[in-house]
Amino acid sequence: MTETTTIYDSAAPHRGLVDPFKNTWEKRHLIGLLVARDLTLRYKRSVLGVWWTLLNPLLTTLVFWFVFSTIFTRQGDSDAPFVVYLLSGILLIQTFFSQGAVACGSSLIAGRSVLSKIRVPGEVFAVTASLAAAVNFAIGLAILLVLQLATGWGVPWTVLLVPIPTIAMLMFVTGFGMLIASAAIHFYDVLDFVRVLLMLLVWMVPTFYPVDIVPEKWRIFIEINPLYSYLEVFRGFMYEGTFAPAWNFIYMTGSALLMLLVGVWVFSRSWRQAAVRM
Amino acid sequence: MSQPAITVDKVSLAYRVAKDRAGTMKEFAINLLKRQVQYEPLWALDNVSFDVPKGEVFAVVGPNGAGKSTLLKVLAGVLPPTSGRVVVRGLVSPLIELGGGMNHEMTGRENIVLFGTLLGRPPDVMRQRVDAIAEWAELTEFLDHPLRGYSTGMSSRLAFAIATDVKPEILLVDEVLSVGDEKFRRKSTQRITELMDGGTTVILVSHNLPTVRRMAERVMWLDRGRIKAIGDAEEIVDAYEASV
């Protein structure tokens, strides 16, 4: 008899900060299939296809561009076209962070039909959701690049460094989403609460509005929000061609690592309970 | 010789049922203020121990609510035991609630690859097996249609074909042999028999006592989460039949 390939031992010790990463790596092919499924299913049967991904951020951009440049006649806090400022913020904060966190937070509930029958690590579903949000973000970046060229602003070389804030945001979203998912196992109205919280968080950073409309004495409340550092670093690389201040980099990296580790740790101790509780 | 395929050691499993059904944070907060948050454990399995040697066909019988399906989910690694320990040695194919885990918007072909990968097989292997699986399930002409157009019987057939395509070392069967038409029943029973002959360990949960008699070597009788009797198939099924 050959040795068995798979052993399931319910008493095997959980290594809360090792197993999730190991599971994710071992299941990378499955995650790849699930991300592809996520993206194709959403757009497969619609006429506009993949353009739906972009329609939401584009329309939002249009609305805010109209509001701020026509009604308030404000043009953002740099020389870059306001529409570039807006779309970059909306893609990072709304498409990537906010939608990714909600998708990741509801991933255990959405994957319930599989989780209650087949032994699949819960991390697979959470990581799938945040990766899908990252892909949506990346597709949006292509439009942003076109917009930068079309408005004559151009594309700086620092665009090559955009993967740095992208990876940091992926870590942050995954960790944050895992915390939400862990809580959502116990109370199903967590997601409603989170949607309100996310709206608050999104409005607390200059996604839609030029930062200079905020009085100097209130800026601190924007700057303590970690999302602000992601925005600064990302916008700097994407179109300004500048490096954000060092504290933004430190805050971004630190919050990404901390959020991921805390999220993974909490998630790894709670996702198994999903099957018992549901 | 070798270790048993399955070791179940003093396993208990409680579903946590909140007494006041605090399903929302709002209700929970209110109950917390009233100091009323209490959980009533619902013991679906109570101190269950048994071993299944490699290659054995082991059946579980008992009335509804005895914990049979819960036990299969514990063996599948889906439900963590509240106490005790389960060790399962080998690649498991769970035939539990067939068709669950499949996606209705995706085509039969896509589902074969995804479902097989969920069961732990490499996607490349599944891609090569697509045609053979569809042929066995007699769904070749519907392979590129989305699953939402399939009947319940068709998707069960597909799920069964995927789960039993690559020889599993351990097969968990929950009432699968009672779905589908007569032809599929015969065909699936035959495939399980082939797997059994090939050395696959089978755990069978069924209310169909003639099937249990015919297929099982040993039987466990569960009643309200406890083992009532365990042993030779004929003997236990006779005793169980006499009790109902």
Residues of A with CB under 8 A from a CB of B: 1, 4-11, 29-30, 32-34, 37, 41, 44-45, 113-120, 186-190, 193, 272-273, 275-277
pLDDT band per the 50, 70, 90 thresholds, residue A188: confident
- Give the residue on B whose Cα is nearest the Cα of A275: B79
- Give the residue on B whose Cα is nearest the Cα of A42: B105
Chain center to CA of A176: 9
Residue A16 inside a domain? The answer is: no
**pLDDT greater at residue A186 or residue B179:** A186
Number of domains composing chain A: 1
Helices A246-270 and A19-26: crossing angle, nearest 10°? 90
Least confident of A84-88, B71-75, B107-111, B206-210: B206-210
pLDDT band per the 50, 70, 90 thresholds, residue B35: low
Which residues span the domain enclosing B196? 54-243
Q: What per-residue confidence (pLDDT) applies to B22?
A: 57
Least confident of A201-210, A243-252, B91-100, B132-141: B91-100
pLDDT band per the 50, 70, 90 thresholds, residue A160: very high
pLDDT band per the 50, 70, 90 thresholds, residue B37: low
Q: Is B183 exposed, middle or buried (0-12, 13-18, 19+ CB in 10 A)?
A: exposed
B140-164 mean pLDDT: 88
Q: What per-residue confidence (pLDDT) applies to A213?
A: 80
Q: Is B154 left (phi over 0), alpha (psi -120 to 50) or beta?
A: alpha
Q: What per-residue confidence (pLDDT) applies to A277?
A: 65
Judged against a pLDDT cut of 60, whether residue B113 lies above it is answered with yes
Contact list in A for residue B123 (CB cut-off 8 A) is 29-30, 32-33
Using the beta-carbon criterion (under 8 Å), do A6 and B90 form an inter-chain contact?
Answer: yes
pLDDT band per the 50, 70, 90 thresholds, residue A9: confident
Give start and end residues of each alpha helix (H) in chain B.
Answer: 25-33, 68-75, 108-118, 123-137, 152-163, 182-197, 209-215, 233-243
Residue B18: HSE in the Cβ half-sphere, 13 Å Cα cutoff: 16
**Phi–psi pair at B219, nearest 5 degrees:** -130, 145
Torsion sign (Cα): B20, A105, A206, A58: negative
Contact call for residues B164 and B191 (beta carbons, < 8 A): yes
The residue among A218, A216, A250 whose CA lies nearest residue A232 is: A250
**pLDDT greater at residue B21 or residue B149:** B149
Contact call for residues A249 and A233 (beta carbons, < 8 A): yes
Calculate what percentage of chain A has a pLDDT beyond 90: 49
Using the beta-carbon criterion (under 8 Å), do B87 and A33 form an inter-chain contact?
Answer: no
Contact list in A for residue B120 (CB cut-off 8 A) is 6
Distance CA A233, CA A229 (A): 6
Q: What per-residue confidence (pLDDT) applies to A60?
A: 81
Q: What per-residue confidence (pLDDT) applies to B109?
A: 93
Q: What per-residue confidence (pLDDT) applies to B38?
A: 62
Q: What per-residue confidence (pLDDT) applies to A31?
A: 94
Using the beta-carbon criterion (under 8 Å), do A275 and B79 form an inter-chain contact?
Answer: yes
Strand, coil or helix: what is B89?
A: strand
d(CA B111, nearest CA chain A) in Å = 10
Token readout for A123 is: 């991390």
Residue B12 inside a domain? The answer is: no
Residue recorded with tokens 């296809």: A49
Q: What per-residue confidence (pLDDT) applies to A3?
A: 45
CB proximity list for A150: less than 8 A, separation 6 or greater: none
Residue B145 inside a domain? The answer is: yes
Q: What per-residue confidence (pLDDT) applies to A2?
A: 43
Distance CA B134, CA B6 (A): 31
B89-107 mean pLDDT: 82
The DSSP line for chain A is: -PPPS-EEETTSPP-TTTHHHHHHHHTHHHHHHHHHHHHHHHHHTSTTTTHHHHHHHHHHHHHHHHIIIIIS----SSSS-HHHHHHHHIIIIIIIIIHHHHHHHTHHHHTHHHHTTS---THHHHHHHHHHHHHHHHHHHHHHHHHHHHTT----GGGGGTHHHHHHHHHHHHHHHHHHHHHHHH-TTHHHHHHHHHHHHHHTTTSSS-GGGS-GGGHHHHHTSHHHHHHHHHHIIIII--PPPHHHHHHHHHHHHHHHHHHHHHHHHHTTHHHHH-
Strand, coil or helix: what is B216?
A: coil
Using the beta-carbon criterion (under 8 Å), do B103 and A1 form an inter-chain contact?
Answer: no
Greatest alpha-carbon span in chain A: 78
- Give the residue on A whose Cα is nearest the Cα of B102: A114
Residue A77 inside a domain? The answer is: yes
Residue B129 inside a domain? The answer is: yes
Judged against a pLDDT cut of 80, whether residue A27 lies above it is answered with yes
Distance CA A91, CA A61 (A): 9
Residue A166 inside a domain? The answer is: yes
Q: What per-residue confidence (pLDDT) applies to A1?
A: 39
Nearest to B105 among A41, A190, A273 (CB): A41
The size of chain A, in residues, is 278
- Could you count the other beta carbons within 10 Å of the beta carbon of residue B35? 7
Q: What per-residue confidence (pLDDT) applies to A46?
A: 60
Judged against a pLDDT cut of 90, whether residue B51 lies above it is answered with yes
A253-273 mean pLDDT: 93
A200-216 mean pLDDT: 84
- Could you count the other beta carbons within 10 Å of the beta carbon of residue B182? 7
pLDDT band per the 50, 70, 90 thresholds, residue A148: very high
Give the pLDDT confidence of B79-92 residue by residue, as tens digits. 889 899 999 998 88
Residue A9 inside a domain? The answer is: no
Residue B221 inside a domain? The answer is: yes
In a mutational test of the B interface, the residue from A276, A277, A278 whose CB has the highest number of chain B CBs within 10 Å is A276
Distance CA A141, CA A246 (A): 24
In a mutational test of the A interface, the residue from B88, B106, B166, B170 whose CB has the highest number of chain A CBs within 10 Å is B88
Contact call for residues B225 and B66 (beta carbons, < 8 A): yes
Contact list in B for residue A276 (CB cut-off 8 A) is 13, 15-16, 79-80
**pLDDT greater at residue A13 or residue B4:** B4
Q: What per-residue confidence (pLDDT) applies to B42?
A: 81
Give the pLDDT confidence of B8-25 residue by residue, as tens digits. 999 999 887 655 555 677
Judged against a pLDDT cut of 90, whether residue A128 lies above it is answered with yes
- Could you count the other beta carbons within 10 Å of the beta carbon of residue A221? 12
- Could you count the other beta carbons within 10 Å of the beta carbon of residue A142? 10
Token readout for A181 is: 């998912």
Give the pLDDT confidence of A46-97 residue by residue, as tens digits. 656 666 667 778 888 888 777 777 666 655 556 788 889 889 999 999 999 9
Contact call for residues B45 and B225 (beta carbons, < 8 A): yes
pLDDT band per the 50, 70, 90 thresholds, residue A134: very high
Contact list in B for residue A23 (CB cut-off 8 A) is none
Number of domains composing chain B: 1
Which residues span the domain enclosing A122? 46-272
Judged against a pLDDT cut of 80, whether residue A5 lies above it is answered with no
Judged against a pLDDT cut of 70, whether residue A206 lies above it is answered with yes
Judged against a pLDDT cut of 50, whether residue B227 lies above it is answered with yes
CB proximity list for B202: less than 8 A, separation 6 or greater: B56, B57, B58, B170, B171, B173, B192, B195, B196, B215
Global confidence as pTM: 0.87
Chain center to CA of A85: 18
ipTM for the whole predicted complex goes beyond 0.90: no
A203-220 mean pLDDT: 84
Most confident of A258-262, B75-79, B93-97: A258-262
* Average pLDDT value over all residues in chain A: 86
d(CA A256, nearest CA chain B) in Å = 28
DSSP 8-state class, residue A187: -
Domain of B59: which CATH number?
3.40.50.300
d(CA A126, nearest CA chain B) in Å = 15
Least confident of A90-104, B28-42, B81-95, B144-158: B28-42
Using the beta-carbon criterion (under 8 Å), do B74 and A9 form an inter-chain contact?
Answer: no
d(CA A120, nearest CA chain B) in Å = 7
A18-34 mean pLDDT: 91
Using the beta-carbon criterion (under 8 Å), do B114 and A33 form an inter-chain contact?
Answer: yes
